[in-house]
Amino acid sequence: MVLSNLIFYIFSASCILVYGVGIKDLLLTVENPKNVFLYSVKTLLSTICTVILTWVISTYVLGPKSLSDIFPFFLLFFALTFSILLSFLFKLLLKKEISEFVLTFFIAFLAVNESTTLLHGIIIAIVATIGFYALIPIFYAIKYRINISLVNIELKKAILILVSIGIILILLFAYNISWFNFGVI
Amino acid sequence: MPTKHQHNIYLYVLSLLPILLVTPARLGCGMIIILLINLSMILGTTLRFFMNKIDTGNTDRLILLLFLLFLTIIYKRLLVIFSPVLGILLSFALYFIPLSSLCLDFLFSKDNYDSPRVFGINMLYSGFFSLFLFLLFILREVLSFGSVSIPVKTGIKAFEFFPWYSSFWATIPGTFILMALIFLIVVFIDKQLDIVRKINIEKTKA
C-alpha cells in the first residue's frame, strides 16, 4: 500500500504539479532557499498531527450525524494550532524562525478528502510533503539554467519555468496515453 | 529586470493556477468559480470595513478566515441543492478560493479601510480577475472542445460550434503552456506600450 501510494502521489498525481497545491510557494522558495530541511521537518510533523486529529473527528464525531461537510473548520483550527506550536518550539530550541501555514492546510485537506483509512491519510500527507521538498532542487537547477541562457525578454524566468513544468508533466504522463488516437493532440 | 508591477501580476496569476488546474475546462464550471470569488470579495470587504470600526485587536484575520470558509461551505451546500453533479465536480476546487492570495491579499492589507472607497478598489480588482478568468475559460473550451457551455441542473449544457478533435489545451500541461503564452503576449504588448509612452513624453518635452 505504501509503495503504490508513493508512486501515485509523486509521479502520476503529484500534489504540486497536478493539484497545483504549493506552486506559488515552490517558485518563491526557489529564488532564495534557506533552511529547507528544517521547513520540511516542520511541515511533516504539523501535517501528520493535523491529519490524525481531523480524520478522527470527521469520521467518529461528525460522520454519524451526517455533518462531515464542515470538517474544514476543524482542519483550520488544528492546522493553525500545530503550525504556531511547532514554530514556537523551533524558535525556542533552535533559535530559528520557521513558519508556514498554507502548505500544511492544503496537504492536510487533500489527505483527509481522499483517504479511505487513517493510515492511508497519513501516507498521503507524508508522500505529498516529501514530493514538494524533493522538487526544490530540480526547480533550482532549472532556474539556474534559465538565468545563464541567452534569451532576452522581460519575465523570462516566469515564462520559461511554466513551459518547463508543462514539459515535465507531458513526460510524466506520456507512457499512459494512446498517442495515435484522435482527441489527444 | 521585471518591474514591481510585472512581479505583482506574476504572483497573482500564480495564485490563480491551482483553481485552473483542478477545475474542468468548461465555461459552466468557470462561471460558478467566478461567482464565488466575487461574493467572497464583497462580503469580506464589508466584514472588514465594519470590524475596523470596532477594536478587535489581533483576531480580525482569524475571523475573516473563518468567515470565508463558512461562506464557501454554505455556497457548496447550495450548489449541491441546485445541481449535485456540479457539486461533486467542483467540490475540491471551491476550497482553494478562501485561502488563495486572490482575496486575502486585499482583505488583509492595513490601509484603505477607513473610507467607503475601499469597496470600489476591491471590486475593481476582483472584476479584473473575473474578466481574465472568463476569457481564459472561454479560450480553453473553444480551443479544445469547440463549444461554449452553461451550468444547468443536470450538469453542463454545451453548445457546439464546430467539431474539433484536439483536447490538449484543456489538459494540465496545456494549461501551463497556455499561461506561458499569455505572459509572452502581455510582455510584448507592455513593451510596445512603453515605446508609445516614451514617444509621448518626448513630445511633451519638446
pLDDT tens across B110-124, in order?
A: 777 788 888 888 899
Handedness of CA B8, B14, A136, A154 (dihedral sign): negative
Cβ distance B31 to B150 under 8 Å? yes
CA distance B26 to B90: 11
pLDDT tens, A16-43?
888 888 888 888 888 888 888 999 999 9
The pTM for the full model equals 0.87
pLDDT tens, A95-151?
888 888 888 999 999 999 888 999 999 988 988 888 888 888 989 999 898 888 877
Q: Grid coordinates 464583497 are at which residue? A: B42
Question: What percentage of chain A exceeds 70 in pLDDT?
Answer: 97
Chain B residues touching residue A162 (CB < 8 angstroms): 176-177, 179-180, 183
* A183 pLDDT tier (thresholds 50, 70, 90): low
C-alpha distances out from residue B98 to B69, B110, B121, B189, Å:
6, 19, 19, 32
* A56 pLDDT tier (thresholds 50, 70, 90): very high
Which of A20, A27, A184 faces B18 most closely, judged by CB atoms? A20
DSSP string, A95-140: -------HHHHHHHHHHHHH-SSHHHHHHHHHHHHHHHHHHHHHHH
Which of A69, A70, A154 faces B6 most closely, judged by CB atoms? A154
Cβ distance A121 to A115 under 8 Å? yes
Residue of chain A whose Cα is closest to the Cα of B165: A183
Chain A residues touching residue B168 (CB < 8 angstroms): 184-185
Cβ distance B156 to B150 under 8 Å? yes
Q: Grid coordinates 454519524 are at which residue? A: A64
State the best of B59, B183, B185, B193 to mutate against chain A, taking most chain A CBs within 10 Å: B183
Strand, coil or helix: A93:
helix
| ipTM confidence score | 0.84
